[in-house]
């Protein structure tokens, strides 16, 4: 295994400056895409919160499922999406 790692390290040293540039550029594009995805997830949470406030769901045991657009009951004090994302809206 360590031989494979040293071979891979040796290969990276042989990359041309143009290849290194492309590799770094691709890595930065990936990071940008990840940040955009996080931003869109944040925006989805904000819009969902606003809709739950607007339709009076915040003080009830119901929530708006952004995937289906349906109002569903809260199970065990948590929304099903909280269980998936690991977020907790408990005080």
Cα distance between residue 58 and residue 51, in whole Å:
9
Separation CA 1–CA 60 (nearest Å) = 56
Reported as a single tens digit per residue, the pLDDT across 18-27 is 999 999 999 9
Residue 20 lies in a domain: yes
Domain membership flag for residue 51: yes
pLDDT at residue 5, as a whole number: 52
What pLDDT, on the 0 to 100 scale, is given for residue 80?
A: 65
pTM: 0.61
**pLDDT classification of 83: cutoffs 50, 70, 90:** very low
Is 65 among the domain residues? yes
What is the maximum alpha-carbon separation in the chain? 62
Structural domain includes residue 52: yes
Per-residue tokens: 4: 């494979």
- Average pLDDT of the residues in 59-68: 86
The Cα-based distances of 61 to 64, 78, 80 in angstroms read: 11, 9, 13
Whether residue 73 lies inside any domain: the answer is yes
33 inside domain: yes
In-domain check, residue 7: no
**Which residue segment(s) compose the domain that 57 sits in?**
12-85
**For 22-61, how does the pLDDT look when each residue is reduced to its tens digit (9 = 90+)?**
999 999 999 999 999 999 999 999 999 999 999 888 888 8
Q: How many domains does the chain have?
A: 1
Domain for residue 6, yes or no? no
* Residues 57 and 48: beta-carbon distance below 8 Å: no
Nearest-angstrom CA–CA distance, 64 and 51: 8
């Amino acid at each position: 295994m360590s031989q494979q790692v040293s071979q891979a390290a040796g290969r990276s040293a042989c990359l041309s400056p143009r290849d290194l540039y492309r590799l770094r550029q691709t890595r930065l594009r990936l990071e940008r895409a990840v940040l955009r995805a996080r931003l869109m997830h944040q925006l989805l949470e904000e819009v969902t919160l606003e809709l739950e406030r607007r339709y009076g769901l915040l003080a009830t045991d119901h929530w708006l499922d952004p995937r289906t657009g349906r109002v569903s009951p809260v199970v065990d004090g948590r929304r099903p999406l909280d269980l998936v994302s690991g977020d907790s809206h408990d005080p």
